Structure 1
Amino acid sequence: MHVFDAAAVHAALPWPFLIEALRKAHLGEMPASDVVVQSDPTGGEAQFVTLPGWAPGGPIVVKMVGVFPHNASLKPPQPAVQGLVALFDGKTGGPLLVADGAAMTARKTAADSALGAALLSREDAEDLLIVGAGALAPHFAEAHLAARPSLRRVMIWNRTVARAEAVAAQLREKGIDAAVTGDVDGATARADIVSCVTMSDTALIKGALLRPGTHLDLVGAYLPTLREADDAALTRGAIFVDNRNNMQGGGDLSQAVASGAITWDAVKADLFELVRGERKGRTGADQITVFKNNGGAHLDLFTASALSQTLG
């Protein structure tokens, strides 16, 4: 059995390789998957999530991960999401590898959105706005840049400016043109791609400010109580999801449905349908596209399978 620590995961899964691996994986069947969520028995906000997935005729994955929203305030800070991902042989049940959960989560989540951007954003997009400056933020910037090479500039917005400055500095060390903005509304109006990676419970993105042709990537609102974009963003944009199985759980879509702004029929396609060519993606340069990254054990399985390919 092979063990990958965080550094080994990041080194083994460069963005172009992983994005392409996810694209190819979506040509196949949706793996069987489940999710078990346990809440902090003391009543706190933390959760522990177990996500098993099993590909037809293929391997089995089990992701075991804690979601601790206040980890960023620890000294030293820790990722809000961390744990382990284990891959097993689908024929014998034998363990194949175990990998750092935070690194695998960062890699698969960012690559999921990057695949969405590759399929839905304009090919001439130049300005990327990252909303949020948590542990995932630099990974999302790098993944989007890999998926859409036309991007030239990255703006970072965060309620705590110091965290945004830290992410921008980290990106600049890698030669990326990154700067901090204190005006999320102004940055939204200028961006070609907006990627939201927060745990906000109030909408940060105003749909009225989105330019024609913008691609909006919504990641963080994984609970019904959370939200990153308002109803106008969803009514102005053509809505796509990474998968339909998990789309009712996130706040951006479920709250818009509850308000009557949209119905579930507004979701035009998921990644499986887009990759297979069964449904159309962007239909024009001025169309606003909205991609909801819901996640799921199938993505952990696809990413762990890609990692296993690097073993030779």
Structure 2
Amino acid sequence: MRILSADEVDRALDDLALIDRLDAMFRDGCEMPTRHHHTIAAPNGPGSADATLLLMPAWTRGRGGHIGIKLVTVFPDNGTRSLPSIYGQYLLLDGGTGAPVAQLDGTMLTKRRTACASGLASRYLSRAASQTLAMLGTGALAPQLIRVHAKVRPIEEVLIWGRRPERAQALAAELAMSLPHDLGRPIVVRAELDRRQAVVAADIVSCATLSRTPLVKGDWLHQGQHVDLVGAFTPEMRESDDRAVARARVFVDTRAGALKEGGDIVQPLANGTISTADIVADLADLARGAKPGRAADDHAAITLFKSVGAALEDLAAAELAVTAR
């Protein structure tokens, strides 16, 4: 059985190749039972935040298929200890025998597939000429999302906002050095202290936080924008307000996940702001051509994509990482 470290997973996965692989997996489908989602109440005693344990299985049928399962822990208080909030491991098994094939670092796998799922959605939903990206959040996903969005669209400027301005400034300085090398073209990256100004200035707004209160206000949005909501993975969390969801054409990674877990969808459904009919499509609909994304000449629509993650994405990324040379 192969064991792939975080660095090995990172080196094995090319962003655009992974976007294509995700597109194909959403189009072709796989078996994907509902994830097991368990709350671990106050693991560090009274006053500490609840933690989450996720078990995510998926498998493909037929010769050459695989079974995969990811185990993830989310401990929001880890930031106070200078530790990542999310840890994960992924086990890939032979679909015909059940024999172990590989164990991969699930944390890196999650980062890379999550960012590329947003990249896939952007390819269908953002305007092709999008040039300015606002990134709300400065955690581990932020640089991944920024890089992927800048590979999918001709982003020339990135505005980074965070609750802690010093972290936004540090991330901006780091990416201002590394991103032009990664992209092979010049790009301006800077911190933006005013969250409203960052959103208003952007063609694409990406948000990856653990916020329980809306960060993206619908009154700030303008025609042609694409909103990418990656955090807020429980019903109690949210990154957009009701007005944002009401104004936008709403898309999700999977209906089953978004309708159950994503607060940006669960809450406006519960209070009647939107109905299930207002969810235009999921990534499978888009990949199969069952529903259209943004038309090439549509410069007016506001699109909103809510991602909660899917085991299908992990399986696609793990298979690609193992077969990459």
In the superposition, the TM-score normalised over structure 2's length comes to: 0.91
Q: Does residue 151 of the first structure (1) align with residue 155 of the second (2)?
A: yes
Give the match for residue 4 of structure 1.
Answer: 4
Contact kept, 8 Å, 1:79 with 1:102, in 2: the verdict is no
Shift of 1:61: 0.6
Give the match for residue 264 of structure 1.
Answer: 276
**AA paired with 1:65?**
V
Deviations 1:267-312 (A, max 9, x none): 111111111111111141111100011212111111111112215x
Give the match for residue 32 of structure 1.
Answer: 32
3-state DSSP of counterpart to 1:107: helix
Give the match for residue 170 of structure 1.
Answer: 174
- Which shifted more, 208-217 or 170-179? 170-179
Contact kept, 8 Å, 1:231 with 1:256, in 2: the verdict is yes
**AA paired with 1:16?**
L
Q: Does residue 108 of the first structure (1) align with residue 113 of the second (2)?
A: yes
Which of 116, 124, 135 matches 1:130?
Answer: 135
Contact kept, 8 Å, 2:41 with 2:50, in 1: the verdict is no
3-state DSSP of counterpart to 2:27: coil
Give the match for residue 52 of structure 2.
Answer: 47
Q: 1:42 to 1:237 in 2, by over 3 A?
A: closer
Matches of 1:133 and 1:297, distance apart in 2: 25
3-state DSSP of counterpart to 2:124: helix
User: Which runs of no fewer than 5 residues in structure 1 stay unpaired?
Assistant: none
Q: Does residue 234 of the first structure (1) align with residue 245 of the second (2)?
A: yes
**AA paired with 2:281?**
A
Matches of 1:156 and 1:207, distance apart in 2: 19
Give the match for residue 197 of structure 1.
Answer: 208
Matches of 1:28 and 1:80, distance apart in 2: 33
Matches of 1:170 and 1:218, distance apart in 2: 23
Give the match for residue 142 of structure 1.
Answer: 147
Shift of 1:78: 2.4
CA RMSD of aligned residues (A): 1.3
Matches of 2:106 and 2:27, distance apart in 1: 25
Deviations 1:45-98 (A, max 9, x none): 112211111123321111011111122221xx2221112111111100011111
Deviations 1:168-224 (A, max 9, x none): 122112124210001111111110000010010000111111110000001101111
Contact kept, 8 Å, 1:34 with 1:53, in 2: the verdict is no
Which of 61, 71, 74 matches 1:67?
Answer: 74
Matches of 2:170 and 2:53, distance apart in 1: 28
3-state DSSP of counterpart to 1:128: strand
Shift of 1:32: 2.4
3-state DSSP of counterpart to 1:26: helix
Q: Does residue 250 of the first structure (1) align with residue 257 of the second (2)?
A: no
Shift of 1:41: 5.1
3-state DSSP of counterpart to 2:61: coil
In the superposition, the TM-score normalised over structure 1's length comes to: 0.95
Give the match for residue 224 of structure 1.
Answer: 235
**What percent of counterpart residues are identical?**
38
3-state DSSP of counterpart to 2:140: coil
Which of 83, 87, 92 matches 1:78?
Answer: 83
Matches of 2:275 and 2:40, distance apart in 1: 33
Contact kept, 8 Å, 1:33 with 1:298, in 2: the verdict is no
Contact kept, 8 Å, 1:117 with 1:147, in 2: the verdict is yes
Deviations 1:99-131 (A, max 9, x none): 111101100111111110011100000000010
Contact kept, 8 Å, 2:9 with 2:104, in 1: the verdict is yes
User: Which runs of no fewer than 5 residues in structure 2 stay unpaired?
Assistant: 44-48, 181-186
Give the match for residue 13 of structure 2.
Answer: 13
Contact kept, 8 Å, 1:80 with 1:135, in 2: the verdict is no
Give the match for residue 294 of structure 1.
Answer: 308
- Which shifted more, 36-45 or 199-208? 36-45
Contact kept, 8 Å, 1:138 with 1:170, in 2: the verdict is no
3-state DSSP of counterpart to 1:173: helix
Contact kept, 8 Å, 1:207 with 1:231, in 2: the verdict is yes
**AA paired with 2:70?**
K
3-state DSSP of counterpart to 2:3: strand
Give the match for residue 46 of structure 2.
Answer: none
User: Matched residue pairs, number?
Assistant: 308
Matches of 2:289 and 2:262, distance apart in 1: 26
Shift of 1:42: 4.8
3-state DSSP of counterpart to 2:143: helix
Matches of 1:222 and 1:17, distance apart in 2: 26
